Amino acid sequence: MTGSHIFGLELGGTKCVALRAEGHHIVETIAVPTAEPGATLGVIDDLFGQWQRERQPDALGIASFGPVGVDRNRPDWGFILNTPKPGWAGTDIAGRYRRLLGVEVGFDTDVNAAALAETLWGGAVGTSCNAYITLGTGIGVGCVVRGEPLHGWQHPEFGHLKARRMPGDVFRGNCPFHGDCIEGLISGPAIARRSGMAGEQVEDKHPVWDGVVHDLGELLAGLILGLSPERISLGGSIACARPWLVERARGAVIASLGGYFDNLSKDINRMIGVTALGDRAGPLGAIALGMTRIAAGK
Ligand code: ZN
């Protein structure tokens, strides 16, 4: 596995990143803005074709925004499902690149992939259950249980959980499906709408963060109750730019759970933290998915 040559593709809400790696050492990444799928994937087709002429990869891993088809036994495996992103719903991603490159393809949500990378190389090494939350354009949650990304009927979508609202917070939320689900309350676009300014310009002491901390605390408390993860890693542009959010969210979790777990205060700093992989969590997630296909073929 160490000497494997792996291509990766991370499909995100604002950009798509193509990369190639030796083992899990990333040697090149190229970002392409996420536009209509034909234009964006056309650029990536050319790039992969060029890289393949230099050296055939052993596998490809694709980590995508969701929802996506993750059951390899179903006809919608490898497809992007019902996304509001214009043109992307019903797009076959994994099949396209399996045909183009002639290699095995690992395919999952970007956050399940990042959770897998955390398990292999980040802050969740040695855990039997961990979760990864991205705080960015959207709010996504991935889970890995005993080394495998969590799949069932579909894949986890905790970002769309509806939680208790902060008393006095009347923001209606901006999720097109649910209004005030967690994503509708604390995604980058939601923070921008709440504050009336671009998210990155909002000062750390702006009151909008009180609501974000409360709602993030509810999400984390729900994850702890539902999955009992040993580690929850937070990544994405908002978490990486404002690591103090994590510290404040720990306090919100303890308040939300009301003393039910008497060992939570002792464990919470180890349990909840910013991703150890930084902005490489996503790209490394794609590489981790590629590695799972090499391992499956052995
Ligand atoms: Zn929602």
For ligand 1, the distance from its centroid to the CA atom of residue 162, given in whole angstroms, is 8
Q: State pLDDT tens for residues 135-193.
A: 998 999 999 999 999 999 999 999 999 999 999 999 999 999 999 999 999 999 999 99
Residue 199 or residue 20, greater confidence: 20
Residue 101 CA, ligand 1 centroid: distance in Å: 35
Q: Where are the domains of the chain?
A: 5-110+279-296, 123-276
Q: What residues contact 174, with CB distance under 8 A and at least 6 apart?
A: 184, 187, 189, 190, 193
* 14-36: average pLDDT: 96
114 C-alpha vs ligand 1 centroid, how far in Å?
21
For ligand 1, the distance from its centroid to the CA atom of residue 159, given in whole angstroms, is 7
The H or E element that residue 134 is part of is: strand 129-135
Q: How many CB atoms lie within 10 A of CB 129?
A: 17
Superfamily of domain 123-276: ATPase, nucleotide binding domain (3.30.420.40)
How far is 200 from 190, CA to CA, in rounded Å?
12
Over residues 49-63, the mean pLDDT reads: 98
Of the candidates 67, 74, 108, 56, the residue with the CA atom closest to the CA atom of residue 89: 67
> How far does residue 103's CA lie from ligand 1's centre (Å)?
35
Q: How far is ligand 1, taken at its centre, from the CA of residue 136, in Å?
A: 14
Q: Are the folds of 5-110+279-296 and 123-276 the same? A: yes
Kindly give the distance from the C-alpha atom of residue 167 to the centroid of ligand 1, in angstroms, as a whole number.
Answer: 20
Residue 87 C-alpha to ligand 1 middle, in angstroms?
19
Residues less than 5 Å from ion ligand 1, measured at CB: 160, 175, 177-178, 181, 183
Distance 144 CA to ligand 1 centre (A): 22
Tell me, in angstroms, the distance from the centre of ligand 1 to residue 186's CA: 11
> Is pLDDT at 1 greater than 70 in this prediction?
no
Domain boundaries 5-110+279-296, CATH class: alpha beta
pLDDT for 204-239, tens place per residue? 999 999 999 999 999 999 999 999 999 999 999 999
User: Could you tell me the distance, in angstroms and rounded to a whole number, from the CA of residue 174 to the centre of ligand 1?
Assistant: 8
Instruction: Report how far ligand 1's centroid is from the alpha carbon of 32 (Å).
Output: 26
| Dist. CA 182 → ligand 1 center (Å) | 7
Query: Per residue in 253-289, pLDDT tens?
Result: 999 999 999 999 999 999 999 999 999 999 999 999 9
Structure confidence at residue 281 (pLDDT): 95
Token pair of 66 as six digits: 């969701």
Q: How far apart are CA 86 and CA 100, in angstroms?
A: 24
